[in-house]
Amino acid sequence: MSETTHDSRPDRVVLAYSGGLDTSVAIGWIGERTGAEVIAVAVDVGQGGEDLEVIRQRALDCGAVEAYVADAREEFATEYCMPALKANGLYMDSYPLVSALSRPVIVKHLVAAARQFGAQTVAHGCTGKGNDQVRFEVGITSLAPDLKCLAPVRDLALTRDVAIDYANQHHLPIATTKNNPFSIDANVWGRAIETGFLEDIWNEPTKDVYSYTDDPTYSPLPDEVTLTFDQGVPVAIDGRRVTPLEAVQEMNRRAGAQGVGRIDIVEDRLVGIKSREVYEAPGAMALIAAHKELENVTVEREQARFKKTVGQRWTELVYDGQWFSPLKRSLDAFIEDTQRYVSGEIRMVLHGGRATVTGRRSEQSLYDFNLATYDTGDSFDQSHAKGFIEIYGLTSKLSAAREAAGGQQPEASS
């Protein structure tokens, strides 16, 4: 893909290209308004749909001078989804960072393409209302502070109506319609659906909203699955070795068939507005449920308590577009250390929209049957409990005595 550099060559813009209407129109739109040549970059993170070569050719047909395509599915699953799994990353305790996780891997390829093709600017198709504009631009400037950023929808007034008219006038090879009710972003970790009638938060999602999951009301027979983890990463399903990508894909299929992973929330966006978001992430939600339970068995109590705080902050940073930040990098190191003993097996039953853990076992388990049992053979010395309680409650006892000496009575909650 190398080419000769000419001093008189026009400026070049690398465009994050999805193959859809807006980014297809953006190729010519950017050229007309900036005089720059456009290099289209399409990154496959497991969103499905059209073949990458078809998307590449469409970009060229729409006026791109070069089209760069990358199959980043394995990279995305291993280097982005697995860290999110180790962190139990759920924004607002609900959203498994579907779109937020894919942006930094796309950014990485955009910057690589900018270097390869000598571009000075990187463009994306985000609006001025969403989180993704921040994720793209902060990510780009974190990796390449010298690059400029451009958002045609936000900066060059490329609205959807304008895009449709432009595509029709220029006979671009892309389907145009004003009737598509939803904005959809998908990858192997999940699928995000917004806009249309979903913007009225009283409206219930209809059946056509969902694609990754079947209706949990009419689930097939329960599906029992055993997941094997090694240091926080799933390495086998029902005894069959899998890569991270294969683990997510198989759990998408099996948990999706049972309606697991449907999420409907009003979400606090980074830009300060609340937004109604519908997600479906069957594989992600089932894997996170299994991983959490294995951590309950293998991670020491105080470490586990603090990890929840770290995991929440990690999740917020990723949601806010700070994947490449120093703090996120430091939190990565802590989370990775906590996974040292998170190895073992979790048995789950997938049914009726739920992923229910029914069994756990691990050679690294901190669960001691002889300490936990109430039956004969109990190795816990209960005589130690009295002294422990005296010491544990000593500070509260001293405080209560001070209040009593001052004529105050400790308040008892009802």
Q: What are the residues whose beta carbons fall under 8 Å from the beta carbon of 13, sequence distance 6 or more?
A: 30, 34, 36, 37, 38, 39, 119, 120, 121, 122, 123, 150
Alpha helices for 324-393 (secondary structure H): 326-338, 369-372, 384-392
Question: Can 99 be counted among the known catalytic residues?
Answer: no
pLDDT at 410: 66
Q: What are the residues whose beta carbons fall under 8 Å from the beta carbon of 359, sequence distance 6 or more?
A: 226, 345, 346, 347
The answer to whether 217 and 210 are in contact (CB under 8 A) is: no
- Asked if residue 71 belongs to a known ligand binding site, the reply is no
pTM above 0.85, yes or no: yes
Question: Can 7 be counted among the known catalytic residues?
Answer: no
The residue written with tokens 């760069």 in the block is 68
- Asked if residue 279 belongs to a known ligand binding site, the reply is yes
- C-alpha–C-alpha distance, residues 369 and 189, integer Å: 36
Active-site residue identified among 56, 73, 132, 275: 132
Distances (CA, A) of 133 to 29, 224, 314: 19, 41, 20
- Asked if residue 353 belongs to a known ligand binding site, the reply is no
Question: Can 183 be counted among the known catalytic residues?
Answer: yes
Active-site residue identified among 56, 58, 103, 254: 103
- Asked if residue 95 belongs to a known ligand binding site, the reply is yes
Give the start-to-end residue ranges of the domains of the chain. Answer: 12-180, 184-299+341-361
pLDDT at 7: 54
- Asked if residue 20 belongs to a known ligand binding site, the reply is yes
**CATH number, domain 12-180:** 3.40.50.620
- C-alpha–C-alpha distance, residues 401 and 158, integer Å: 71
Active-site residue identified among 142, 183, 325, 365: 183
Q: Which residues pair with 41 in a beta bridge?
A: 16, 68
**CATH number, domain 184-299+341-361:** 3.90.1260.10
pLDDT along the chain (414 residues), means of 10: 53 95 93 95 92 93 95 98 98 97 98 97 91 96 97 88 90 77 90 92 95 95 98 98 98 98 96 95 98 98 98 98 98 98 98 98 91 76 88 92 83 64
- Asked if residue 375 belongs to a known ligand binding site, the reply is no
Question: Can 22 be counted among the known catalytic residues?
Answer: yes
Q: Given strand 12-16, what is the order of strands in its sheet?
A: 66-71, 37-44, 12-16, 121-123, 148-150
N-to-C CA span, the chain: 73
For every residue of 140-166, DSSP letters joined together read: HHHH-TT-EEE-HHHHS---HHHHHHH
For every residue of 185-250, DSSP letters joined together read: EEETTEEEEESGGGGSTTSPPPGGG-SSS--GGG--S-EEEEEEEETTEEEEETTEE--HHHHHHH
pLDDT at 5: 45
Query: What's the token pair of residue 314?
Result: 């990690």
